[in-house]
Amino acid sequence: MRYFLSFLILGNSLLPTHASTPTHGAKLCSEIPAPHVLGATIASIDSAIRTNFSVQSSPPTLAQDIVNLNVCEVNVTLTHTGSSDHVLVQTWLPLKSWNKRFVAIGGGAWAAGLGAIDLALPASQGYAVSSTNAGLSGNPLSPDLWALKEDGTVNFELLENFASRSIHDMAVVGQAVAASFYGRPVKTSLWNGCSTGGRQGLVAAQKYPEDFDGILAGAPAIYWTEYVVAELWPQVVMKEEGYYPSNCELDGIVQAAIRACDNKDKVKDGIITSPFNCKFDPFTAVGTMAQCGEEQVEITSQGAAIVRKIWDGPKTPSGERLWPGIPIGASFAALAYTTTEANGVNGTGVPFFLADAWVRYFVKENPEFDTTSLDSAQLVELFYESKSKFGSIMDSADPDLSKFKKAGGKLLVWHGLADQLIYPQDSIRYLQEVEQIMGGEVATKDFFRLFLAPGVDHCGFGPTPGAVPTAPFNALLSWVENGVVPEILEAETLPNSTAHFTRKICRYPLVAKYRGRGDRAAAKNYVCVKPKEDC
């Protein structure tokens, strides 16, 4: 295989080794020829040496300043046959100490990639690295500049770029210019992304199985056309209840649930290890006070009723579950956000930006459509409408990974169990669907492994009380190059967490259990066991 942070690197060390410099036969930076991309025409290729420059941190995507960079920057602009798009693939090639590897970096939210803040860290660690804008505006917060054509209809050319086509473009272009510059093909081709970047990684495994030797997909947005619409459920619940609890009241109920279910694993650490086994009743918190900084709010029966419905998830008119609810222990801050400062006083709902834009620009093709007006019945209709119109282009849920497995690819997926945006149930469902079609757990785990991190929010971004995987990319690299099959991911709480501890994140379905002796805050004192052994 030679063709290859919601979102990206999360500040993890990429552990470069086997460093080398360009060989005698390598092309000078300015002489790199235009690569050949099937189905596309190269509009331009612009290459230049950049020395001793820096990229400033941009949390949470890039957690640190990257200094003293020295690269050959290659900007390839291409247009697809029969399309009017202009796609930029930007690649940075280290001038010294190339580790013979190529990594493509995924995007986040509405961006297929973020350019320099994608490229800086891997390039500093010896990787030839690429990012792409997919021909889009590059704004991760809104697709308003590219979603619709002048006639008001969906721009399917650019949506296809965002969904899948740009992933392959980046693999082909990045690897080709690296091979031209260094005078040798890349040794290992890898993908790294979270959220939208995680979805892109799964697309690569499903549609372009020979592009990457290894794929790291964090919190992947797998069932896009369904989960994005379901993200509006909390807003629908509050509208129908006629009550908009303050963020403090909602957080008070979440914290009460964590206190109730925290110690079920015999370790009191402020997280729920098994949220799907937590049976907390939010009405038991009614009348208690929630403390949020200097704000103190009483938890009401209306707030408890809303939380119960959000946790339960949306249902069809016949009572069948349409989509899972937010995991117990996850924050409501994003999906149930309101403008209110006190319980129910002039409260208004604020739909999550990504779900709101998806419905307005794509499903309804109407930027003026009001998602705050939706009721339960309309949400169900919208759910199926979204799936019907765009499932074939946007969903990265094909469970047939036989070609990826045959090509020798390795897929490592990790997901926070307190993810409030893309629920971990999605990744569990996908793994189970892959196992069903690929011959069961034994046949699947040789190339596809899932890790669930208790108490961890979306992509490990804060505030998140759980232990976040510290180097999942290293685990993937060792698996791909050295055959070291990952049984655990090492994890540690973030510096801003209220409590500090390390943990083992076990391969699903195993869970970490305290062995009964030693420091409960140390990962070495935990073992991976079957779920039935976990309290």
**Measuring CA to CA, which residue among 91, 95, 72, 175 is closest to residue 129?**
91
In this structure, are 374 and 455 located in the same domain?
no
pLDDT at 61: 83
Residue 414, H or E segment: strand 410-416
Mean pLDDT of the chain: 92
CATH of the domain at 135: 3.40.50.1820
Distance CA 205, CA 160 (A): 17
Name the 3-class secondary structure at 54.
strand
pTM of the predicted model as reported, rounded to 2 decimal places: 0.93
**List of residues 6+ apart from 233 with CB closer than 8 A:** 310, 313, 314, 323, 325, 335, 379
- 102-111 residues labelled b (16+ CB within 10 A) or e (exposed): bbbbbbbbbb
> 449 lies in which domain range?
29-222+396-499
Q: How far is the CA of 252 from the CAs of 236, 274, 364, in angstroms?
A: 21, 20, 36
Greater confidence, 64 or 231? 231
**pLDDT class for 342, splitting at 50, 70, 90?**
low
Rounded to an integer, the average pLDDT of 428-446 is 96
For residue 340, is pLDDT > 60? yes
Burial class, 48, CB count within 10 angstroms (exposed 0-12 / middle 13-18 / buried 19+): exposed
In this structure, are 244 and 366 located in the same domain?
yes
Q: Is residue 410 part of a domain?
A: yes
Rounded to an integer, the average pLDDT of 481-492 is 98
Q: Is residue 158 part of a domain?
A: yes
298 contacts 289 by C-beta, under 8 angstroms: yes
Q: How far is the CA of 135 from the CAs of 160, 171, 355, 399, in angstroms?
A: 10, 16, 22, 28
What secondary structure letter does DSSP report for 356?
H
Cis peptide before 509 (omega within 30 of 0): yes
In this structure, are 387 and 400 located in the same domain?
no
**pLDDT class for 341, splitting at 50, 70, 90?**
low
In this structure, are 178 and 260 located in the same domain?
no
In this structure, are 243 and 208 located in the same domain?
no
Q: How many domains does the chain have?
A: 2
Catalytic residue among 80, 168, 415, 458: 458
In this structure, are 328 and 207 located in the same domain?
no
Q: What is the rounded end-to-end Cα distance, in angstroms, of the chain?
A: 43
For residue 2, is pLDDT > 50? no
Q: Is residue 534 part of a domain?
A: no
Catalytic residue among 180, 195, 246, 274: 195
Cis peptide before 317 (omega within 30 of 0): no
In this structure, are 233 and 217 located in the same domain?
no
In this structure, are 78 and 207 located in the same domain?
yes
Q: Is residue 3 part of a domain?
A: no
For residue 21, is pLDDT > 80? no
In this structure, are 91 and 173 located in the same domain?
yes
In this structure, are 432 and 307 located in the same domain?
no
**Measuring CA to CA, which residue among 346, 339, 337, 237 is closest to residue 282?**
237
Percent of the chain clearing pLDDT 70 (strictly above): 93
**pLDDT class for 20, splitting at 50, 70, 90?**
very low
Annotation says 58 is catalytic = no
Rounded to an integer, the average pLDDT of 334-352 is 79
Annotation says 180 is catalytic = no
Q: Write the pLDDT tens digit of every residue in 260-310.
A: 999 999 999 999 999 999 999 999 999 999 999 888 999 999 999 999 999
Give ∠ CA 407-411-412 in degrees, rounded to 5. Answer: 160
Poorest-pLDDT segment among 8-17, 19-28, 85-94, 177-186: 8-17
In this structure, are 416 and 493 located in the same domain?
yes
DSSP, residue by residue, 95-117: SS-B-SEEEEE--BTTBS--THH
230 contacts 323 by C-beta, under 8 angstroms: yes
**pLDDT class for 4, splitting at 50, 70, 90?**
very low
For residue 534, is pLDDT > 80? no
Q: Write the pLDDT tens digit of every residue in 54-103.
A: 999 888 888 889 999 999 999 999 999 999 999 999 999 999 999 999 99
Q: Is residue 17 part of a domain?
A: no
Q: Is residue 527 part of a domain?
A: no
Q: Is residue 215 part of a domain?
A: yes
Distance CA 449, CA 470 (A): 17
Annotation says 169 is catalytic = no
Q: How far is the CA of 472 from the CAs of 199, 218, 257, 319, in angstroms?
A: 17, 9, 29, 39
pLDDT at 532: 64
In this structure, are 310 and 451 located in the same domain?
no
pLDDT at 306: 98
Among 347, 372, 392, residue at a domain's last position: 392
Distance CA 483, CA 487 (A): 12
Q: Is residue 46 part of a domain?
A: yes
pLDDT at 346: 58
**pLDDT class for 498, splitting at 50, 70, 90?**
confident
pLDDT at 320: 95
Q: Write the pLDDT tens digit of every residue in 141-194.
A: 999 999 999 999 999 999 999 999 999 999 999 999 999 999 999 999 999 999
Distance CA 387, CA 522 (A): 44
Name the one residue in this structure whose structure tokens are 């996850």.
330
Distance CA 297, CA 289 (A): 5
Catalytic residue among 419, 426, 457, 534: 419
pLDDT at 343: 52
